[in-house]
């Protein structure tokens, strides 16, 4: 039987670049990059989980906007539901509980390795950029 996990992540941009974070070595997908976020705990809303995760990992408070994407991914023995929210940071982020942070232009995202769950969001961003 698969364990179902809900994960929420923030799509944050400064008008030209997107904020990504590098997973700490020793964690699942350690060293790979992702949109910042975390697991939704029992009793939390997506917004509460995202606010907690960004404060914990980046030392920032956040305004959580609309959910722009939701997708499912299986990593045996878990099934991950990944929800992406547009967010605005209230202060500058710093690497508190992540290996590193980076502000990256859409055309540079191909230079970073992402876990499979995040790749769908990256493909969407690349597609949006092509339409601009």
Q: What is the pLDDT of residues 7-40, one digit of tens each?
A: 999 999 999 999 999 998 877 677 899 999 999 9
* Euclidean distance between CA atoms 78 and 80, whole angstroms: 6
Task: Give dist(CA 33, CA 100) in Å, integer.
Answer: 9
pTM score above 0.85: yes
Question: Domain range holding 113?
Answer: 3-131
Residues 6 or more apart in contact with residue 124 via CB below 8 angstroms: 69
Q: For the chain, what is the domain count? A: 1
Q: Is the pLDDT of residue 124 over 80?
A: no
Burial class (CB in 10 A: 0-12, 13-18, 19+), 57: buried
Confidence of residue 131 (pLDDT cuts 50, 70, 90): very low
**Average model confidence (pLDDT) for the chain?**
88
CATH number at residue 84: 3.90.79.10
């Amino acid at each position: 039987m698969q364990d179902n996990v809900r994960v929420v992540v923030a799509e944050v941009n400064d008008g030209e670049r997107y904020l990504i974070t590098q997973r700490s070595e020793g964690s699942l997908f350690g060293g790979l990059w992702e949109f910042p976020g975390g697991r939704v705990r029992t009793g939390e809303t997506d917004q509460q989980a995202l606010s907690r995760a960004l404060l914990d990992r980046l030392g920032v408070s956040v305004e959580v906007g609309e959910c722009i994407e939701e997708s499912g991914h299986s990593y045996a023995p878990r099934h991950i539901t990944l929800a992406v929210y547009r967010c605005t940071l209230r202060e500058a982020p710093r690497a508190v509980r992540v290996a590193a942070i980076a502000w990256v232009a859409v055309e540079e995202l191909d230079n970073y390795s992402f876990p499979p769950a995040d790749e769908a969001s990256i493909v969407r961003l690349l597609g949006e950029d092509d339409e601009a």
